[in-house]
């Protein structure tokens, strides 16, 4: 029982019954594991005891601590769940079962010959998130289990160290953060960082250690200064130095692009006071003592983080003219910041009060569990969960001033689907602070977002095109696909046909044989491709990209045959247009053909003219395909090193209205594209715009063309071959 002393010292309020429950769990676990050893060579029982100690420090209940002691016995020994339920009751058995289900999964899947390592990991994590939705204590045991495994990672192979550390940093540390358990979160981060980037970790650790005494002396001085000021104002507060977490310092250095000496929280104070009004009073005192640094104040009391975290953060210039970070919070806020959802467990367990923060975190857990359950593909499920638990977040407002938490990089469409699926499906525009913005606008913290909806209709297939940047979140992407899947097959084929025809026309492939498109994909027929586009399984742009790649390979094969009698010159070179031409001398004349106006990204070929050097054409140019002099063709490719501005002509057909050209011009300007020629003609209510634009490459053209095509008035946008 000596091993349990640490647990009992952290749980002085245990009843005799609870005390006996934990003792009996230890006795059974010790006997079950008595012949087993860890990779480090230590007796196996040291691991479940360490897990139980972590949970005792979080002030978890006796059944959770007992389950921690027993969490490996069903998987690794002859003891069954029925044995555990008979001796310890249903509560403990359910917790052990929840953890065991997670732990057994890789073994079960490992028996499947087709299973890949990545599939095992993804399905393992998916099952973990599904299990944790039933009882939050399951994930708390799992977090404690992971923390002890990370503490003892040194005995594993380098490959296993890296794999476990990456999984911990990507999944478990952010999860602990979202549950508000800072005490576990920072340990998982630092331990992961230590194994993922050992040299950088060692460098930062040595920097911290080399100036520890100087830093501690500085902190003692500012603590005394602040304590004296608080006493003069009659404030009872606890002032202490704040622990330094290496990974946190590293992230701040990267995010702010500063060196170690300029990271504010290398020197940091934490002030704890009885109530919220005193927090703001202390903030005023701190700013009277030292000059605040502009832009370094955050009020997480008035606007708590999504995980419930509350505190005032400020940074000041201290007496020695160096930065000092100060956090101010109540004692309850500190408990919540350190222990998160675990800090609320006792209240909820005994039914003492309704706890809004606890309910919010529980609902969050259920949402993650539902996401994991909804996804058939484990990789998609884990991608959704990773996105939801990332701490790179933004906070925006609804028109009613509700705060919405989204991953950084989210767009109005992501916001709309977060509010309600129907709002997302009918989204047609957005306003930020009353000003119209594009649907690909990147939301910023503090934005007030209003969604403009249509009375009916659905999402656009273009929203699924990742290159266009309309959607960031997995949730929105999933809802869009679901909408298209609910449409009948014939309608999806029609939608798919419209999307693909539009994309082919944009890329100058409108005459490409449709029967050949199936050859460029893994679909059996052209109709299957159209249905898949309509369902949202693939995008029209991805199909066109495969067509272009197939065409490029075919043209290269033809070109290789043509090259048998091609002329040669002494050296290779790069033209002023960013084109590498085989055999081009330093003074070789190269120009871009005006008949097809190639852009960087188009498959190209050179044609040796009789008097004007080499002309660069697209490989699908009719003049090239119909040439009677294939011996004049020469290999050409876009140079990686050289950039150039290329001219291209685009035609837009639209229903005429006042301000349409202004709106189109604004979209073009927003993409950094210059228009060198504009020709507008009208026919009754139809307007035809012929624009010559200067673009960097084909992808930039595709992006702006797609955005213009989103205008309700626009009928068609297409790239023309000639200037």
Summarize pLDDT for 9-19 with one digit per residue, the tens. 888 888 899 99
Residue 283, Cα to own-chain centre: how many angstroms?
A: 34
- The arithmetic mean of pLDDT across residues 229-257, rounded, is 85
Of residues 198 and 682, the one with the higher pLDDT is: 198
- pLDDT score recorded for residue 113: 35
Quick check: 570 pLDDT over 50? no
Single residue among 306, 339, 372 that ends a domain in this structure: 339
Confidence band of 278 (pLDDT split at 50, 70, 90):
very high
Q: What are the DSSP E strand ranges found in 529-578?
A: 573-574
CATH number reported for the structural domain that contains residue 223 in this entry: 3.30.460.10
Same structural domain, 199 and 210: no
- pLDDT score recorded for residue 485: 77
169 SS3 class:
helix
15 SS3 class:
coil
Q: Could you list the residue range(s) of the whole structural domain that residue 461 is in?
A: 392-468
pLDDT, one tens digit per residue, over 48-85 is 999 999 999 888 889 999 999 999 998 888 898 899 99
CATH number reported for the structural domain that contains residue 671 in this entry: 3.30.70.260
* Neighbour tally for 272: CB within 10 Å: 22
* Neighbour tally for 721: CB within 10 Å: 17
Same structural domain, 24 and 149: yes
Quick check: 287 pLDDT over 90? yes
- Cβ neighbors of 44 (< 8 A, separation 6 or more) are 33, 36, 37, 38, 72, 76
Single residue among 638, 671, 702 that ends a domain in this structure: 638
- The arithmetic mean of pLDDT across residues 653-669, rounded, is 84
By mean pLDDT, which of 313-327, 403-417, 541-555 is the weakest?
Answer: 541-555
pLDDT, one tens digit per residue, over 108-136 is 434 433 444 444 555 555 666 666 556 77
Residue 484, Cα to own-chain centre: how many angstroms?
A: 24
Pairing of strands 590-592, 614-618: parallel
Of residues 691 and 371, the one with the higher pLDDT is: 691
- pLDDT score recorded for residue 148: 94
DSSP string spanning 43-83? BTTHHHHHHHHHHHHTT--HHHHHHHHHTTHHHHSS--HHH
CATH number reported for the structural domain that contains residue 441 in this entry: 3.10.20.30
Same structural domain, 589 and 441: no
User: Could you tell me if residue 377 is inside a domain?
Assistant: no
Same structural domain, 273 and 317: yes
User: Could you tell me if residue 347 is inside a domain?
Assistant: no
111 SS3 class:
coil
**Of residues 313, 299, 311, 285, the one with CA closest to residue 226:** 285
Single residue among 416, 436, 468 that ends a domain in this structure: 468
Same structural domain, 241 and 289: yes
- 197 assigned to active site: no
Of residues 338 and 90, the one with the higher pLDDT is: 90
- pLDDT score recorded for residue 500: 86
Active-site pick, 18, 24, 75, 450: 75
Quick check: 502 pLDDT over 50? yes
Q: Give the C-alpha distances (Å, rounded to integers) separating 625 from 218, 391, 605, 620.
A: 77, 54, 11, 7
Distance CA 599, CA 610 (A): 24
Same structural domain, 536 and 579: no
Confidence band of 45 (pLDDT split at 50, 70, 90):
very high
Stated as kind and residue range, the H or E segment containing 315 is strand 312-317
- pLDDT score recorded for residue 88: 92
* Neighbour tally for 64: CB within 10 Å: 25
Same structural domain, 584 and 540: no
Quick check: 414 pLDDT over 90? yes
pLDDT, one tens digit per residue, over 486-497 is 777 778 888 888
User: Could you tell me if residue 180 is inside a domain?
Assistant: yes
Same structural domain, 239 and 218: yes
- pLDDT score recorded for residue 642: 59
- pLDDT score recorded for residue 51: 94
Per the structure, the count of domains in the chain is 6
- pLDDT score recorded for residue 39: 86
Distance CA 335, CA 325 (A): 20
User: Could you tell me if residue 384 is inside a domain?
Assistant: no
- pLDDT score recorded for residue 172: 85
Burial of 59 (0-12, 13-18, 19+ CB in 10 A): middle
By mean pLDDT, which of 8-17, 96-105, 418-427, 672-681 is the weakest?
Answer: 96-105
- The arithmetic mean of pLDDT across residues 262-278, rounded, is 82
Same structural domain, 214 and 236: yes
**Of residues 597, 594, 705, 721, the one with CA closest to residue 653:** 705
Same structural domain, 120 and 191: yes
User: Could you tell me if residue 380 is inside a domain?
Assistant: no
- pLDDT score recorded for residue 363: 63
Same structural domain, 175 and 258: no
% of the chain with per-residue pLDDT over 70:
81
Quick check: 195 pLDDT over 90? yes
Q: In this structure, what token pair is assigned to residue 718?
A: 């297409």
- pLDDT score recorded for residue 177: 83
User: Could you tell me if residue 55 is inside a domain?
Assistant: yes
- pLDDT score recorded for residue 255: 73
CATH number reported for the structural domain that contains residue 92 in this entry: 1.10.3210.10
Kindly list the strands in the beta sheet with 674-683, ordered across the sheet, starting from the edge strand earlier in the chain. Answer: 674-683, 686-695, 646-655, 714-720
User: Could you tell me if residue 480 is inside a domain?
Assistant: no
Q: In this structure, what token pair is assigned to residue 13?
A: 């309020």
- pLDDT score recorded for residue 111: 40
- 145 assigned to active site: no
Stated as kind and residue range, the H or E segment containing 453 is strand 449-453
For 573, list phi and psi in degrees, rounded to 5: -165, 175
Active-site pick, 18, 76, 227, 697: 76
pLDDT, one tens digit per residue, over 355-401 is 566 566 666 666 665 655 555 555 565 566 666 666 577 878 888 87
Quick check: 584 pLDDT over 70? no
Q: If you search the block for the tokens 């170690």, which residue do you land on? A: 260
Same structural domain, 281 and 296: yes
Confidence band of 558 (pLDDT split at 50, 70, 90):
low
CB 86 within 8 A of CB 64: no
User: Could you tell me if residue 374 is inside a domain?
Assistant: no
């Amino acid at each position: 029982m000596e091993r349990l002393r640490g647990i009992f010292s952290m749980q002085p309020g245990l009843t005799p019954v609870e005390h006996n429950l934990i003792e009996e769990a230890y006795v059974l676990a010790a006997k079950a594991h008595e012949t087993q050893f860890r990779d480090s060579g230590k007796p196996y029982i040291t691991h479940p005891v360490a897990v139980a100690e972590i949970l005792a420090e979080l002030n978890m209940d006796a059944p959770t601590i007992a389950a921690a002691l027993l969490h490996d016995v069903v998987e690794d020994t002859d003891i069954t769940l029925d044995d555990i339920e008979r001796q310890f009751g249903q509560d403990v058995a359910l917790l052990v079962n929840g953890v065991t289900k997670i732990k057994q999964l890789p073994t079960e899947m490992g028996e499947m010959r087709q299973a890949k390592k990545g599939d095992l990991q993804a399905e393992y994590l998916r099952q973990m998130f599904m299990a944790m939705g039933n009882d939050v204590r399951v994930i708390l045991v799992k977090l404690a289990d992971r923390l002890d495994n990370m503490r003892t990672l040194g005995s594993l192979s380098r490959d296993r160290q890296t794999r476990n550390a990456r999984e911990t940093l990507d999944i478990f540390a952010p999860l602990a953060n979202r549950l508000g358990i800072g005490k576990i979160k920072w340990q998982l981060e630092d331990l992961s960082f230590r194994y993922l980037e050992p040299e950088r970790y060692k460098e930062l650790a040595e920097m911290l250690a080399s100036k520890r005494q100087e830093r501690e002396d500085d902190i003692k001085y500012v603590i005394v200064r602040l304590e004296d000021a608080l006493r003069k104002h009659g404030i009872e507060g606890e002032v202490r130095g704040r622990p330094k977490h290496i990974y946190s310092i590293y992230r701040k250095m990267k995010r702010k692009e500063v060196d170690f000496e300029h990271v504010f929280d290398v020197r940091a104070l934490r002030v704890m006071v009885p109530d919220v009004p005193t927090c703001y009073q202390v903030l005023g005192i701190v700013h009277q003592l030292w000059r605040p640094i502009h832009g370094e104040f955050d009020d997480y009391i008035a606007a708590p983080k999504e995980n419930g975290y509350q505190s005032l953060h400020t940074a000041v210039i201290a007496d020695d003219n160096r930065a000092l970070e100060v956090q101010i919070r109540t004692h309850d806020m500190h408990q919540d910041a350190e222990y998160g959802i675990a800090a609320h467990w006792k209240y909820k367990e005994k039914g003492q009060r309704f706890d809004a923060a606890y309910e919010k975190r529980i609902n969050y857990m259920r949402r993650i569990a539902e996401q994991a359950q909804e996804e058939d593909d484990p990789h998609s499920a884990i991608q959704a969960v990773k996105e939801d638990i990332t701490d790179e977040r933004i906070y925006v407002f609804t028109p009613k001033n509700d705060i919405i938490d989204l991953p950084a990089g989210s767009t109005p469409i992501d916001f709309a689907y977060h509010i309600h699926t129907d709002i997302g499906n009918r989204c047609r525009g957005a306003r930020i602070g009353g000003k119209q913005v594009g649907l690909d606008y990147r939301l910023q913290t503090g934005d007030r977002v209003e969604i403009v909806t249509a009375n009916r209709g659905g999402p656009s297939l273009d929203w699924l095109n990742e290159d266009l940047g309309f959607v960031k979140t997995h949730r929105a992407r999933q809802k869009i696909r679901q909408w298209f899947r609910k449409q009948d097959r014939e309608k999806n084929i029609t939608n798919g046909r419209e999307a693909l025809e539009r994309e082919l026309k944009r890329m100058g492939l409108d005459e490409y044989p449709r029967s050949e498109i199936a050859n460029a994909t893994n679909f059996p027929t052209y109709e299957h491709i159209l249905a898949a586009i309509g369902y949202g399984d693939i995008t029209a742009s991805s199909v066109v990209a495969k067509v272009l790649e197939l065409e490029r390979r075919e043209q290269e094969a033809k070109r290789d045959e043509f090259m048998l009698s091609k002329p040669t010159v002494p050296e290779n070179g790069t033209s002023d247009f960013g084109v590498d031409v085989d055999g081009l001398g330093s003074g070789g004349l190269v120009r871009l053909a005006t008949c097809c106006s190639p852009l960087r990204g188009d498959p190209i070929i050179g044609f040796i003219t009789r008097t004007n050097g080499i002309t660069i054409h697209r490989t699908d140019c009719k003049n090239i395909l119909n040439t009677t002099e294939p011996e004049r063709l020469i290999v050409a490719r876009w140079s990686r090193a050289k950039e150039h501005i290329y001219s291209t002509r685009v035609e837009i057909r639209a229903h005429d209205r006042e301000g349409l050209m202004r709106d189109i011009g604004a979209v073009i300007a927003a993409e950094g594209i210059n228009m060198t020629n504009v020709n507008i003609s009208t026919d009754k209510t139809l307007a035809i715009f012929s624009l010559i634009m200067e673009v960097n490459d084909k992808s930039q053209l595709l992006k702006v063309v797609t955005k213009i095509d989103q205008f309700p008035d626009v009928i068609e946008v297409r790239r023309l071959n000639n200037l």
